[in-house]
Amino acid sequence: MGGNNKSIPLPAQYADWEQVLLDIDPRGNPDVVCDARELSKLPGASYDSIYCSHNLEHYHRHDVAKVVAGFCYLLKPDGFAFVRVPDMHELMQTVVQKNLDIDDVLYQAPVGPILVRDVIYGYGREIEESGNDFYAHKTGFTQKSLRSALIAGGFPVVFAGSGNLEVTALALKAAPSDYVASLFKLQGGERTS
């Protein structure tokens, strides 16, 4: 979901899976060109998993529930969503601890330096070069707020964690199967209902 193009590697959990790429931007040659706020226009209960890495923050807060509900709609009954977003809580702590300014370099990435501003507002260079506002960040998440968004969007089971300036969450429509539990090395976790 929002993966840009298939040259970007997927997490190890998806080794040997068939990838169907959905993105709003046709430049990356996705399999499905679609705005994630309109997922209900696609065939429901069609996918085993949705991997959404650093995409959910590109929607206004009021649209996040619609996108997450779309994830539920697209997933098979035993399906799951694996979501990654920037961790605004850790970002704020890092900015204060290191006395960083909004235009200071936060870290180096393969694409070049990432500024504090890039994490808050979206990767400025991409927004500028593409001229597309959909690359801008329109909301932000902490571990608590991502869990809440996934629950509000219809996922009754959510496992979440954070680290390395990122929140990750595994959201399920039902209790995890043994396969999913082994895939993500689940040991307990939080059931929301």
Residue 117, in any domain of the structure: no
DSSP state of 93: H
State mean pLDDT over 40-45: 95
Q: Does 108 reside within a domain? A: no
Q: In the chain, which residue ranges form alpha helices assigned H by DSSP?
A: 61-74, 88-97, 116-121, 124-130, 143-152, 178-183
Question: For position 188, what pLDDT does the model report?
Answer: 57
CATH of the domain at 143: 3.40.50.150
CA pair distance 83, 91, nearest whole angstrom: 18
6 lies in a domain? Answer: no
**Cβ atoms 156, 192 nearer than 8 A:** yes
Q: Note whether 141 and 87 are within 8 A (CB).
A: yes
pLDDT, tens digit, 9 for 90 and up, residues 60-108? 999 999 999 999 999 999 999 999 999 999 999 999 999 999 999 999 9
Q: Averaged over 142-169, what is the pLDDT?
A: 96
**Rounded Cα distance, 193 and 190, in Å:** 9
177 within a domain of the structure (yes/no): yes
pLDDT of residue 155 exceeding 60: yes
Question: Domain total for the chain?
Answer: 1
- Within a domain: residue 183? yes
How many C-beta atoms surround the C-beta of residue 65 within 10 A?
A: 17
User: Residues 59, 131: contact at Cβ < 8 Å?
Assistant: no
Task: Please tell me the predicted confidence (pLDDT) of residue 46.
Answer: 95
Neighbours of 21 (CB within 10 A): 18
Sequence-distant (≥ 6) Cβ neighbours of residue 12 within 8 angstroms? none
Q: Report if residue 3 sits inside a domain.
A: no
Q: Is residue 19 part of a domain?
A: yes
Residue 167 lies in a domain: yes
Q: What angle in degrees, to the nearest 10, is found between the helix axes of 61-74 and 143-152? A: 60
191 against 163, higher pLDDT: 163
For residue 129, what are the contacts with CB-CB under 8 A and spacing of at least 6?
none
DSSP annotation of 57 reads: G
Q: β-pairing, 166-172 with 75-86?
A: antiparallel
Q: Answer for the pair 53, 62: CB distance below 8 angstroms, yes or no.
A: no
The answer for residues whose C-beta is within 8 angstroms of residue 120's C-beta and 6 or more apart is: 88, 91, 102, 137, 140
Structural domain that includes position 161? 12-87+126-191
